[in-house]
Structure 1
Amino acid sequence: MQKYDLLIIGGGMVGLTLALAVRKLSSLTVAVVDNTSPCELTKDPEVRVSAINQASEQVFKNLDVWPLITNMRYQPYQGMHIWDKDAGGSLNFSAQDVDKENLGSIIENNVIRTALWQKVQADSGITIIDQKIASLGMGDSEVFASIDGQMPIMASYVVGADGANSWLRSQIDMPMTFRDYDHHALVATVNTKQHLTPTAWQVFLPSGPLAFLPLYEPGSYSIVWSTSPEQANDLAALSPEEFAKQLTSASDGKLGQLELASERYTYPLKMRLARDFMKERAILIGDAAHTIHPLAGQGVNLGLVDAAALADCFAQLSKQNQFTDINSTVALKAFARWRKNDAIEMISAMEAIKQIFAPLPLPLQTLRGFGLDLINKVKPAKQLMIKQALGEKSHLPSLSKQKENWSIT
């Protein structure tokens, strides 16, 4: 029987970040179960991208992953322009407002995972198991996993970083709070000949938000169009030319004449929140614990902070020789409360934004537009909003801070 300190189910961005973070902060041994290696990068950008904020970027820097990402391809952006299609009000955010070089970076998911994968493969304390778990048993002090075609595994803890449809969450029978947003997201890559300063654009349409995220090639954007399931299907069925016309019209031509540069994909948007993020010796992080509306692009950042925070907790327990001690439950429950509270805060914020930009009668639309323009002129209010988007908080994991500020608590 193979024995590890930690068993991670799911080798996506969050699971691999946790594995590297645990190894960075301790000498604990880790096994990651995932039978899908990263796809080879092509010359064309991947459709699925993430808006990585400064807190997540710092995690990648402290794990020595950031140079691998930047050596592939990424796009920092210095500005954000948000406007209301109906009311006409707008907000303009700039990195200069908070004395930063940029507001974040748009990176293809496969680029991030490839960089993390390379780093994981170079760490002798991390084992990749490219098979599926057949069954899982929970003892008082260990977790037992049967692996297809391999020896069983024993570990002190198991972590589910296996996505929104988490296998581990199902195995431990963890109840979920669930809400269907009744929206689908349509994602694609589009091009324009109008080359602008790297800026994230978002327009709130009556049917939902439409975001344009700048990619590494000038004039290339990843779009996320959140709308009703019916309209998403209709948009996906349009000819490339007609789709481009509708997209250009929806964005008020602010990015110039747009053209479709990829396949279009749609997926349903749902809010999920696990009742608890841990049960006995099983812990949930990332989308396995929570999913939120993508309108602010904070879902992956929330998951990466989960990973960094859990690594802090495991490292502290190991340092105090309490990793397998009964006292570990107290520390892990504190971790779970913290991360659940952050998830609830983010879910509530997304709901508030969604409601603010919901269709309104004409007089209230005018008032909403006036409110946006007013906020745009109030520098302290804008600075607060930007710092929230950057991931700046009073309570952050050690790996989300610059190295001189590291403190495992």
Structure 2
Amino acid sequence: MAQKFDVCIRGDGMVGRTLALLLARQRLRVGLVSHDASKGNHTTSDDAQDVRAYSLNSASRDLLSELRCWPSPQHATPVQHMRVWGDNGGFTHFESPTPDGLTWIVDVPVLENQLAEAVRYQAEITCLTDDDSQTTQADLTVICEGRQSVTRTTLGVDFEVMPYQQHAVAARVRCTTPHRQQALQWFSQGPEGLEILALLPMGGAQGDTASLVWSQPPARAQAMLALDANAFAQALENASHGVLGQLTLTSERAMWPLQLARAQQWTGQFADGSAWALAGDAAHNIHPLAGLGLNLGLADVAELAQILKTRDGKDYWRKAGDRYFLRRYERARKAGLLPTWAACDGLQRLFAHPNTSVQAVRNWGMNGFNSLAPVKAWAMQQAMGLENR
């Protein structure tokens, strides 16, 4: 016998679980489908250590705190300073206007476990396998399967992909110099092209560990992955100019290709007349240079949940898959995504340009930006997720 739900969510990663919890609070019956496509595409095997960390803004923190899923201070380190160096003397510095921090560097496995635990105790959520989902019925199916979504491909959605000539290498390191709640980033021109190194503080305010994301040309990334742990740590120390002292690799290394991508259509109908919607990486991908990917996915599901909540009032008679809701969701999130999507892509392409004149201009621009307090304040509001408050 088919199981019937108001909403079926395909993909039980962080975005899918967050949406399930938000909808369960509205007393909607939710089916949450677990399968490999939802686990991200950043590790090479099921047993590989997850070394990811995300920079989450105030909007994401408020959302997860409301769901009682915000990690403890040891696993959600507030960033008090953000320092960025250009590839030829450029520099800019952001300082948090409050003790709370500019953003928070959150340990991905810890957050995933807290969301999974919350889902486990929510009676309105039924956890399903791929096989179970073949016999489920729902007014709305939300696809949160990640960048390689099988369901999106099956639907024939046009997913516009623009690959960067870069791979990301991620790992965890221990530093002999405490990070002092600083997020550090360097743009540099290597022999094969643009490299972007980010070191993100972890382990709490007094921590001495960091998560790294090193975006490099593919051959260079492969070579770095092939180095032994000591040689890799030495290369990392050189690239970071010893700012955090001696570095020791404490994890495996992961690597994945980088791309800019966006679905042309975010909502639609199945052949049986029920509706579908895309969210998270299934709908859009950006470069990790600003660390905003998960924030955008959480903003997707927060918007969708808020729109569906109008069923508690004047729209009580509409089903969860009503086209009225889905049109509102698609319009709002495409408009909300565009500035960040364009800014991250523009910054990456600006620094990837090999011309020396362009190099001089972009570094001059960084230094000029650093001296313009009102512009910096506006940029911080955007990055902190406070622009709509």
CA distance in 2, matches of 1:373, 1:258: 29
1:35-64 Cα shifts (integer Å, max 9, x gaps): 5799xxxxxx95111111111001011222
Classify 1:201/1:176 alpha carbon distance in 2 versus 1 (closer, same or farther; 3 Å): same
CA distance in 1, matches of 2:221, 2:320: 51
Classify 1:183/1:364 alpha carbon distance in 2 versus 1 (closer, same or farther; 3 Å): closer
**Is the CA contact (8 Å cut-off) linking 1:72 and 1:111 kept in structure 2?**
no
Classify 1:95/1:345 alpha carbon distance in 2 versus 1 (closer, same or farther; 3 Å): same
- Among 139, 156, 181, the alignment partner of 1:173 is 156
Classify 1:71/1:197 alpha carbon distance in 2 versus 1 (closer, same or farther; 3 Å): closer
User: Does 1:30 find its partner at 2:58?
Assistant: no
Counterpart secondary structure, 1:92:
strand
CA distance in 1, matches of 2:153, 2:211: 33
User: Does 1:382 find its partner at 2:376?
Assistant: yes
Deviation at 1:364, TM superposition (A): 4.3
Give the counterpart letter for 1:168 in structure 2: T
**Is the CA contact (8 Å cut-off) linking 1:212 and 1:223 kept in structure 2?**
yes
Give the counterpart letter for 1:165 in structure 2: Q
- Among 307, 323, 329, the alignment partner of 1:329 is 323
Query: In the alignment, what sits opposite 2:145?
Result: 162
Query: In the alignment, what sits opposite 1:244?
Result: 233
Classify 1:3/1:204 alpha carbon distance in 2 versus 1 (closer, same or farther; 3 Å): same
CA distance in 2, matches of 1:353, 1:162: 27
- Among 224, 246, 255, the alignment partner of 2:213 is 224
Deviation at 1:133, TM superposition (A): 4.2
CA distance in 1, matches of 2:103, 2:73: 17
Give the counterpart letter for 1:61 in structure 2: S
Give the counterpart letter for 2:318 in structure 1: F
User: Does 1:126 find its partner at 2:125?
Assistant: yes
Deviation at 1:371, TM superposition (A): 2.2
Query: In the alignment, what sits opposite 1:208?
Result: 195
Counterpart secondary structure, 2:223:
helix
Give the counterpart letter for 2:245 in structure 1: G
Deviation at 1:363, TM superposition (A): 4.8
Classify 1:159/1:187 alpha carbon distance in 2 versus 1 (closer, same or farther; 3 Å): same
CA distance in 1, matches of 2:8, 2:223: 43
Query: In the alignment, what sits opposite 1:233?
Result: 222
Counterpart secondary structure, 2:32:
strand
Classify 1:313/1:325 alpha carbon distance in 2 versus 1 (closer, same or farther; 3 Å): closer
Give the counterpart letter for 2:84 in structure 1: I
Counterpart secondary structure, 1:117:
helix
CA distance in 2, matches of 1:239, 1:125: 48
CA distance in 2, matches of 1:101, 1:71: 11
Give the counterpart letter for 1:203 in structure 2: W
CA distance in 1, matches of 2:24, 2:82: 36
Give the counterpart letter for 1:52 in structure 2: L
Counterpart secondary structure, 2:317:
coil
User: Does 1:8 find its partner at 2:12?
Assistant: no
**Is the CA contact (8 Å cut-off) linking 1:210 and 1:226 kept in structure 2?**
yes
**Is the CA contact (8 Å cut-off) linking 2:93 and 2:370 kept in structure 1?**
yes
**Is the CA contact (8 Å cut-off) linking 2:85 and 2:187 kept in structure 1?**
yes
Classify 1:325/1:60 alpha carbon distance in 2 versus 1 (closer, same or farther; 3 Å): closer
Give the counterpart letter for 2:60 in structure 1: S
- Among 43, 53, 59, the alignment partner of 2:57 is 53
The correspondence of residues 228-377 of structure 1 with structure 2, limited to 5 A, is: 228-280=217-269, 281-319=275-313, 320-324=315-319, 328-377=322-371
Number of paired residues?
366
Query: In the alignment, what sits opposite 1:142?
Result: none
Deviation at 1:361, TM superposition (A): 4.1
CA distance in 2, matches of 1:359, 1:246: 24
**Structure 2, unpaired ranges of 5+:** 40-48, 270-274
- Among 182, 205, 221, the alignment partner of 1:199 is 182
Counterpart secondary structure, 1:87:
coil
CA distance in 1, matches of 2:231, 2:62: 41
Query: In the alignment, what sits opposite 1:73?
Result: 75
Deviation at 1:299, TM superposition (A): 0.7
Classify 1:71/1:102 alpha carbon distance in 2 versus 1 (closer, same or farther; 3 Å): closer
Deviation at 1:325, TM superposition (A): 8.1
Farther-moved stretch of structure 1 (365-374 vs 272-281): 365-374
**Structure 1, unpaired ranges of 5+:** 39-44, 135-144, 147-151, 395-400, 402-409
User: Does 1:111 find its partner at 2:113?
Assistant: no
Q: CA RMSD in A?
A: 2.1
Give the counterpart letter for 1:284 in structure 2: L
Classify 1:291/1:372 alpha carbon distance in 2 versus 1 (closer, same or farther; 3 Å): same
CA distance in 2, matches of 1:196, 1:49: 15
Query: In the alignment, what sits opposite 1:149?
Result: none
- Among 82, 85, 104, the alignment partner of 2:84 is 82
1:217-253 Cα shifts (integer Å, max 9, x gaps): 6221110000111000001111222212211111122
1:121-144 Cα shifts (integer Å, max 9, x gaps): 111111111x2147xxxxxxxxxx
Query: What TM-score, normalized to structure 2?
Result: 0.89
Deviation at 1:316, TM superposition (A): 1.1
CA distance in 1, matches of 2:99, 2:332: 28
1:348-373 Cα shifts (integer Å, max 9, x gaps): 11111112222444454344323212
**Is the CA contact (8 Å cut-off) linking 1:22 and 1:312 kept in structure 2?**
no
**Is the CA contact (8 Å cut-off) linking 2:6 and 2:29 kept in structure 1?**
yes
CA distance in 1, matches of 2:101, 2:310: 33
Query: In the alignment, what sits opposite 1:404?
Result: none
**Is the CA contact (8 Å cut-off) linking 1:185 and 1:225 kept in structure 2?**
yes
Classify 1:33/1:325 alpha carbon distance in 2 versus 1 (closer, same or farther; 3 Å): closer
Counterpart secondary structure, 2:78:
strand
CA distance in 1, matches of 2:352, 2:260: 18
Classify 1:197/1:157 alpha carbon distance in 2 versus 1 (closer, same or farther; 3 Å): same
Fraction of identical pairs, as percent: 32
